[in-house]
Amino acid sequence: MLEFKNVSKTYQGDKPAVEDVTLTFNEGEFIVFIGTSGSGKTTCMRMINRMTEPTSGTILLNGRDIATMDAVRLRRRIGYVIQQIGLMPHMTIYENVTLVPSLLKWDEERRRAAAKRLMKRVGLDESFLERYPAELSGGQQQRVGVIRALAADPEIILMDEPFGALDPITRDSLQQLIKRLQKELGKTVVFVTHDMDEALALADRIVIMDKGRVVQFDAPENILQNPANAFVESLLGEDRLNEARLALRTVDEVMVRDPALVTSEQSIRDALRLMRRHRAETLFVTDPDGVIQGVVDIFDIEKVSVKQARQSGRTGREGERTDLMQDRIETIMKPASFIAQDTLIRDALHWIVHLNYRYLPVVDGENRLVGVVTRASLVEDIYANVWGADEDAIREDTVQTTDEPQEGAPDA
């Protein structure tokens, strides 16, 4: 647990950079600080590892005042990721990743094992360990920066606008990565950003600051539904607030029910018949109890058809089967990503619009397939909820205009 108790920071001759901040962060939470430039968000974060010392108040880590701790030892218990990444250019990736474990006197075998394990977690081949930072792309370097912060298994990770200098696609990928790692490893992350979309996507709770003070501290959905004041509303923006009123509903309201499906025991030919009947290009595969197993599309079946045609034209090969279409559908199905019924429409929109998912199967608490969210179903919902009111207004205007006698028109 991390606590701020009436913490203030005043630089000589200036107004307080941080004033009377009282906050409590639970273990394993993803906390995001956001605010305008000079709002005090970075100062708050830097006081956690004593890079900046508070003028007054107390910061407690697991109940102990960090001011009583050795600053160097404290920093070795806290990971730190910055926007400029900060990799040492003259050191290999391995040396960069294991910098803190080396200072902690870990033996070589333990350091090497940790580096390999973390490289795998962020999707980098272990051969990269022997390269230098200049040989990696910006996104790869930032991944290394993330695992360097994780290498010594710290209690807390501090991240100071780590993805601000990256292109949107790389930034989105790294946001997903850090959120996944945080959940898997159960780390407490304190993240500073000026990007509200980033804050909403990552945070368990958001600290909104203005002029050194905390103006709202709450979960993203609560902030969107109940902004504390006009400043928070302006930070969120009218479009985002309007979107939130719709998107905080769950996918259960917009999913297509009774999607086309086939059980894993049925044949490829059965699947093809179902596709023709439903005019579907994709079928979900379930077990006999309806639990989702995978997905198959028309192109998977087309490959089997082509292979069968080739084999049918061959002769003289004993044991070669020609009726491959009778194989069970599970032999060609692919894994299917799926979402729960209580997933927010906001998140489904993000996956479909920004990450280009064609569809999102929806499952109940026992992973039984209950529906599917598609781009078309989301568009239909937008028509109904965003443009529906406009259509009503247009209809009313049309009726009013029609009811008024037009100049030069004959009397009824």
- CA distances for 205 relative to 33, 223, 342, 346, angstroms: 9, 9, 19, 17
Mean pLDDT, residues 138-167 taken together: 81
Cβ distance 52 to 7 under 8 Å?
Answer: no
Structure confidence at residue 403 as a pLDDT band (50, 70, 90): very low
Domain 2-247 has CATH 3.10.20.30: no
Chain segment 290-331, per-residue pLDDT in tens: 898 888 888 888 887 777 777 766 554 545 555 677 788 888
CATH 3.30.360.10 fits 252-379, yes or no: no
Mapped onto helix, strand or coil, the DSSP state of residue 103 is helix
pLDDT (0 to 100) of residue 407: 40
For the cut 50, the answer to whether the pLDDT of residue 389 exceeds it is no
The lowest-confidence range among 229-238, 342-351, 366-375, 400-409 is 400-409
- pLDDT of 300 reads 81
Give the residue-averaged pLDDT of 267-280.
84
Domain boundaries, given as residue ranges, for the chain:
2-247, 252-379
Confidence of residue 5 (pLDDT cuts 50, 70, 90): very high
Answer yes or no: are the C-beta atoms of 232 and 39 closer than 8 Å: no
How confident is the model over 65-95, as pLDDT tens digits?
Answer: 999 999 888 888 888 887 666 788 888 988 8
Decide if pLDDT at 274 tops 80. Answer: yes
Tell me the average pLDDT across 167-180. 79
Which of 108-122, 154-168, 176-190, 240-254 comes out lowest in average pLDDT?
Answer: 240-254
Could you give the CA distance from residue 128 to residue 148 in angstroms, rounded to a whole number?
14
- Which of these, 48, 307, 37, lies nearest to 158 by C-alpha position? 48
Per the CB < 8 A criterion, the answer to whether 145 and 119 are in contact is no
Closest C-alpha to 307, from 287, 337, 293, 327: 327
DSSP-derived letter for residue 386 is: I
Cα gap 138→98, rounded to integer Å: 20
**pLDDT at position 85, please?**
66
Between 162-171, 229-238, 282-291, 334-343, the lowest mean confidence (pLDDT) is in 162-171
